[in-house]
Chain A
Amino acid sequence: MPDFMIYALLGGLGVAAISGPLGCFVVWRRMAYFGDTLAHSALMGIALGLLLDINMNIAITVVCIFIAVSLVILLKQRQLASDTLLGILAHSSLSIGLVAVSFIEEVRVDLTGYLFGDLLAISPTDLAWVYGGAIAVGVILAILWKPLLMMTIHEELAKVEGLAVDWLRLVLMLLFSIVIAVAMKIVGVLLITAMLIIPAATARRVSNTPESMALNASLLGMLSVVLGLTLSYYFDTPAGPSVVVSAFILFIFFYLARPQKG
């Protein structure tokens, strides 16, 4: 197997492993559209990174956190329904990002790579970012698992019982932003949400505790990466979309094959 395939595999597995538990929170808290908006805004992060000539991962994380916090504040005022507001912001931020990137003439930007991922161009440095991010997110999730779970079950109950709900919500946003930044290289802004929610939704069929659902989501995501890359290697299909197609096939398979647990 050529080096680039090994890097692609390692990178994909790292992203899938951490997308599992975080994707469960997206599904439980009904944040799919929110995650999508956040992922789309990552393109603005790329524009910022290019303009200021700073590390791409840091630029994306910073922009995502900024957008996430603004979204939370915007969604609190109930002038527009939240799906309308998220729809406006998702596509506006994507377009702003695309327009901004086009202004930067001195750099040739591979847009397709950012939109759909460029799994086969992963470098050892990228791998270090993926695993650094995954470990950081994993550790924080493990420490805050119980309060995060309680907040997800009932936010007001958690607040009355003395949990710092606002702070926890912010931490969850931070975790999303980090995962989006490191996952972008793998599946691209348009497909990140898919990697978060498809394995988690599939895992629901075979899990009866929150923890097993998180673990199963990771394993299913990793299996999708292996299947997707195999597909890509032998049939020369685009890597990111192949991974998502594999995840979708697993989803269909488990929904047809098994009754829902618990």
Chain B
Amino acid sequence: MTLLVEAQHICVRYNDHTAVNDVTLTINKGEIVTLIGPNGAGKTTLVRAILGLTPVSSGLLTKKPALSIGYMPQKLQIDSTLPVTVNRFLALASRHSRNIDDALKLVGIKHLGQKPIQAISGGELQRVLLARAVLRQPELLVLDEPAQGVDITGQTELYALIKQIRDQLGCGVLMISHDLHLVMAATDNVICLNQHVCCSGHPETVSNDPAYQELFGQTGAAQIAVYHHHHNHEHTINGEVVACQHDAPSITQKENS
């Protein structure tokens, strides 16, 4: 197993505020590591520190030499004065236009290639960024809340897609998520963060950990409850109805009725 990133006791401080405190973690090739934690827990700060966008105040951060990184930021706002189509945006990452079509097909948005990048929805943009990451064939894929603004069905699909990309590229994945239950199936290692590491390990271990339950509250820990139903069909991203391809996602359910 190749070690991609190793953080030892890293802290990130802004003035008097400690955003990330004494965090130790490793990311290996082929491994999906998910950071979860409440708002303001320092998840994004930790990710930015690992990416080299925010300086580390103390501790040791080592990366595999010449590590190639694919990054999906939380928001990607492109000024509307810049005329860029999805294809062009992807072409800036790759030299072969044939690969671009393949990448778009893989993430299920082949029909969006000619559209201006400012004209597509948030969920579609997340897929474009995934396609871009695939094109660059990175050793480490970093995703900051990849499912933001995507509905529940879409989220499950997106996480499955991330897992599929990991299998295909054999890359390591570091992602931030709010919802352990949704990412469970596609995660090898969960780190529950609240400035420091509350608990970490296999997703099922973490969800039963007292520290996790304390952080999210008993109800929060079993939160998914609200509304869930089984579909007898699915929609492609352009809205066409297709037959169900996989069983309903393994989500902990609480029956309310």
B76 beta carbon closer than 8 Å to chain A: yes
Q: Are A159 and B53 in contact (CB under 8 A)?
A: yes
The distance in angstroms between the C-alpha atoms of A209 and B88, with both chains bound, is 8
Q: Are B83 and A204 in contact (CB under 8 A)?
A: yes
A150 beta carbon closer than 8 Å to chain B: yes
State whether A160 and B78 are in contact (beta carbons under 8 Å apart), knowing that A149-B92, A150-B92 are contacts in the complex: no
State whether A153 and B83 are in contact (beta carbons under 8 Å apart), knowing that A160-B53, A160-B69, A161-B71 are contacts in the complex: no
Chain A residue numbers with a CB within 8 Å of B116 are: 208, 262
Q: Are A154 and B73 in contact (CB under 8 A)?
A: yes
State whether A208 and B92 are in contact (beta carbons under 8 Å apart), knowing that A159-B53, A161-B69 are contacts in the complex: no
CB-nearest residue of chain A to B85: A262
Q: Which of A156, A162, A210, A261 contacts B53 (CB 8 A)?
A: A156
State whether A209 and B83 are in contact (beta carbons under 8 Å apart), knowing that A154-B73, A156-B73, A157-B76 are contacts in the complex: yes
Q: Are B85 and A160 in contact (CB under 8 A)?
A: no
Query: B52, B69, B84, B116: which has the most chain A beta carbons within 10 Å?
Result: B84
B79 beta carbon closer than 8 Å to chain A: yes
What are 24 A-to-B residue pairs whose CB atoms are below 8 Å? A28-B79, A30-B79, A152-B82, A153-B78, A153-B82, A153-B84, A153-B92, A156-B53, A156-B73, A157-B76, A159-B52, A159-B53, A160-B142, A161-B69, A161-B70, A161-B93, A204-B81, A207-B83, A208-B83, A208-B116, A209-B88, A210-B82, A210-B84, A262-B116
Chain B residue numbers with a CB within 8 Å of A30 are: 79
Q: Are B83 and A154 in contact (CB under 8 A)?
A: no
Say whether chain B's binding surface is mostly helix, strand, loop, or mixed.
loop
State whether A157 and B71 are in contact (beta carbons under 8 Å apart), knowing that A149-B92, A150-B92 are contacts in the complex: yes
B89 beta carbon closer than 8 Å to chain A: yes
Q: Are A160 and B84 in contact (CB under 8 A)?
A: no
The distance in angstroms between the C-alpha atoms of A181 and B81, with both chains bound, is 26
The distance in angstroms between the C-alpha atoms of A253 and B136, with both chains bound, is 42
Number of chain B residues close to chain A: CB under 8 A: 23
Number of chain A residues close to chain B: CB under 8 A: 26
B244 beta carbon closer than 8 Å to chain A: no
Chain B residue numbers with a CB within 8 Å of A160 are: 51-53, 69, 71, 142
The distance in angstroms between the C-alpha atoms of A212 and B88, with both chains bound, is 13
Query: A146, A154, A213, A262: which has the most chain B beta carbons within 10 Å?
Result: A262
Query: B68, B76, B83, B116: which has the most chain A beta carbons within 10 Å?
Result: B83
The distance in angstroms between the C-alpha atoms of A212 and B132, with both chains bound, is 23
Q: Are B53 and A208 in contact (CB under 8 A)?
A: no
Chain A residue numbers with a CB within 8 Å of B79 are: 28-30
State whether A28 and B73 are in contact (beta carbons under 8 Å apart), knowing that A159-B53, A161-B136, A209-B88 are contacts in the complex: no
The distance in angstroms between the C-alpha atoms of A261 and B80, with both chains bound, is 11
A27 beta carbon closer than 8 Å to chain B: yes
The distance in angstroms between the C-alpha atoms of A261 and B82, with both chains bound, is 11
| Min CB–CB distance B98 → chain A (angstroms) | 19
Chain A residue numbers with a CB within 8 Å of B85 are: 208-209, 262
Chain A residue numbers with a CB within 8 Å of B142 are: 160
Among residues 152 to 172 in chain A, which have CB atoms less than 8 Å away from a CB atom of chain B?
A: 152-154, 156-157, 159-162
